Amino acid sequence: MFLLCGALWVLSSQENEDEKPLDIHLSSITNVIERNDAGEATIIEHFKHNHYLTLSDNIREYGDKFCDGCMLLISDSFYYCSECGFFLHKACAELPKMKPIWHHGCQLANLALTSDNIFRCELCDFLSNGLAYKCRVCGGHVCLRCQALPPDALSCPGHEHPLLFYYDFDGQCCACGVHKMRAFSCKDCDYSVEPLCMLLPTRVSHKCDEHLLALTYHDINDYSKHHYCDICERERDPKRWFYHCTTCDTSAHVKCVLGEYPFIKTGSIYKEGDHLHPLTFVKKIKHYPACTKCGEPCEELALECAEAECNYLVHWKCMNPYASEYGYLKGTDF
């Protein structure tokens, strides 16, 4: 459903070109099973998965699949499992097992790559069940999207000048309109974007449109009748970022498109809780059956028992009360 911000991938690719060839023993790849004539690892073992993974660049066939590392749509060369629905971008597979992350508070601590069941990223505040770097000192997590943020100037598709990160920023984010205390800001003009907005996916799929929606940075349409969200049917602020389909002229708030849990993969197993059987993440089950705990219809993210004879179904928020402490986009018209 998602593609990572193109600017970040471009910066990452440029950095990789200047680096030495990948030291496979330092990457998160557990073992290389087979290489091609160019020395590229074509079949690997990875600590995140139990089966062999095969390299592919067939995005046309697998472009609707999610990377189990960054939790975004497959958008580049990737490894896939031929036995189950597991996918991993090549760039995500080749990340080092440990690395310092400049925006993490424990500056002297190396963060180790982990596959914890569910975590909340300390920077973007999103819940995820993908891969993350976990600090050995404070236990904080940084998702794979946020670890890619560069410490120096960052280009933003919505602005002509490079943006620099300021810890002491005190002002309004131009993307969402919310007052923030840190942001990427332009030193030449009054333009600032908080890290959360900087990491928004540039392409998103949603049931409101058959095409992918593109992240749009300003509304060029001056007609007031067009400044509405086609999902919630409420008014939009034309100065704020939104998602748009040029073919169908569909426009929608960012929060209406993404929802609360865009980086929790449905179909994945939840390993915590006190239920006897494995639970699977599901969304919008047919006929909206009632939650076992609260009795309300399960319209959004829920956990369903994997055992066919068990009818256990529970809201994710009922299973984990901390899941409702969702700060990003709450209380905004973004």
**Every domain of the chain and the residues it spans:** 2-93, 98-148, 164-198, 203-258, 269-323
pLDDT at 11: 35
pLDDT at 226: 75
pLDDT at 321: 58
Q: How far apart are CA 332 and CA 177, in angstroms?
A: 8
Please enumerate, as own/partner, the contacts of 154-157 that have beta carbons within 8 Å and a separation of 24 or more. 154/7, 154/8, 154/11, 154/184, 154/198, 155/7, 155/10, 155/11, 156/7, 156/184, 156/193, 156/198, 157/5, 157/6, 157/7, 157/202, 157/215, 157/217
pLDDT at 52: 95
Give, in degrees to the nearest 5, the angle at Cα 292 between 291 and 297: 15
Per-residue pLDDT of the chain (334 residues; tens, 9 = 90+): 444 443 333 333 334 444 444 444 478 888 999 999 999 999 999 988 899 999 999 988 887 888 999 998 888 899 999 998 899 999 999 999 988 888 888 876 778 898 777 899 988 888 899 999 999 899 999 999 999 888 778 888 888 899 988 888 889 999 999 988 888 899 888 899 988 888 888 888 888 998 889 999 988 776 666 789 999 999 999 889 999 999 999 999 999 999 888 898 888 888 777 788 889 899 877 788 889 989 989 888 899 998 878 889 998 888 775 555 444 444 455 6
Reported CATH class of domain 269-323: alpha beta
pLDDT at 323: 57
pLDDT at 240: 93
